[in-house]
Amino acid sequence: MVNLADVRAARERLGGDVHRTPLLSSRQLAEIAGGPVYLKCENLQRTGAFKARGALNAVRSLSASERARGVTTFSSGNHGQALAWAAALEGLRAVIFMPTSAPRTKVDAARGYGAEVRFAGTTSPERKAAAEHAVATEGLVMVPPFDDARIVAGQGTCLLEVFEELPTPGFVLVPVGGGGLCAGSALVAAACSKATRVLGIEPHTADAMTRALAAGEVVTIAPPKTIADGLMPLAAGALPFSLAREHLAGTVLVDDDEIRAAVRFLAQRAKLVVEPSGAVGVAALLSGRVRLEGSSAVVILSGGNVAPQFLAEILATGE
């Protein structure tokens, strides 16, 4: 498992190479939600998402021989960018497997950090198989996106920062994909502030953690359709699931219209660009699915990597 000491060690490893992101209060959201609301701005993090924390912690946890072999992963999204960035920072080779359908911007971003991009099929299992083949045949070290103790510990550093500024929020609202950020946050809260309830927020079609918690074991869901493209893994990670089962207060589901409204609200009122996956916590508050009734809430805005044209479309369709 992973514990607070691991998260603290991760923080030492990260040093000043990730941003201590701002924690901003939002009066307008507070009025709607019925209690003080604080936005933890991981959209302003290096690489545009919290994933920089886990990826850099993992890379800096490697042995000398592992470093010499280089790293790989099968995420085309924020974790892929983050690993490319972290490897570049440490001067390591990185090979990122992406679907043949990957948008040009994501390919260019990984290459911009100096990573090698390879294309493998269109589904996550195809990419994973290709990356595992590269591990077996080329000696690359796999850095998985969430089901990994070093990744979970790195993601936990985000809430550690929050608690230094705001020791005992009533709630912490965390987006859930594979569960790395959620698990890291839940374990930190359990160790640092027993009065704080951590809620995992999922798109209602991408409810792998909700179902796993109900079933008492990891379950695989049907491929979800949602605009929250960072929250689409078909199953929670085994490690994140076991931490979530122990420490998470519960999960809340939001739909795509609620997520769109949250992205619009954040741009228009909070002046922040947040990707759909990063806006699910605000969606839970705006929709009334979570009511604070006087308690305070920290909402982790997990990332800001949304294509400008898609953001434009979301903004243009508002009132």
What residues make contact with a second copy under the rule CB under 8 A?
19, 22, 24, 43-44, 48, 264, 267-268, 270-274, 304, 308-309, 311-313, 315-316, 318
If the CB atoms of residues 43 and 57 are measured against a second copy, the closer one turns out to be: 43
Residue type present at position 247 = H
User: Nearest approach, Cβ of 276 to a second copy (angstroms)?
Assistant: 14
Q: Tell me the β-bridge partners of 313.
A: none
If the CB atoms of residues 166 and 221 are measured against a second copy, the closer one turns out to be: 166
CA 157 to chain CA centroid, nearest Å:
12
Residue for token pair 């009334």: 288
The Cα–Cα gap between 202 and 216 comes to: 18
If the CB atoms of residues 228 and 311 are measured against a second copy, the closer one turns out to be: 311
If the CB atoms of residues 247 and 269 are measured against a second copy, the closer one turns out to be: 269
The answer to whether 244 and 200 are in contact (CB under 8 A) is yes
Q: Annotated catalytic, 63?
A: no
User: Nearest approach, Cβ of 60 to a second copy (angstroms)?
Assistant: 19
Q: Which is catalytic among the residues 51, 124, 128, 185?
A: 51
The Cα-based distances of 155 to 223, 226, 235 in angstroms read 25, 23, 19
User: Nearest approach, Cβ of 80 to a second copy (angstroms)?
Assistant: 18
User: Nearest approach, Cβ of 314 to a second copy (angstroms)?
Assistant: 8
If the CB atoms of residues 22 and 223 are measured against a second copy, the closer one turns out to be: 22
If the CB atoms of residues 194 and 271 are measured against a second copy, the closer one turns out to be: 271
The Cα–Cα gap between 38 and 55 comes to: 25
Strand pairing class (37-41; 23-25): antiparallel
Q: Annotated catalytic, 194?
A: no
The Cα–Cα gap between 234 and 206 comes to: 8
Q: Which is catalytic among the residues 26, 185, 193, 302?
A: 302
Question: In the 3-class helix/strand/coil scheme, how is 82-113 assigned residue by residue?
Answer: HHHHHHHHHCCCEEEEECCCCCHHHHHHHHHC
User: Nearest approach, Cβ of 42 to a second copy (angstroms)?
Assistant: 10
User: Nearest approach, Cβ of 95 to a second copy (angstroms)?
Assistant: 23
Q: What is the DSSP letter of 15?
A: G
Contacts of 130 (CB under 8 A, 6+ apart): 74, 97, 118, 120, 121
The count of other CB atoms within 10 Å of the CB of residue 88 is 17
What are the catalytic residues? 51, 302
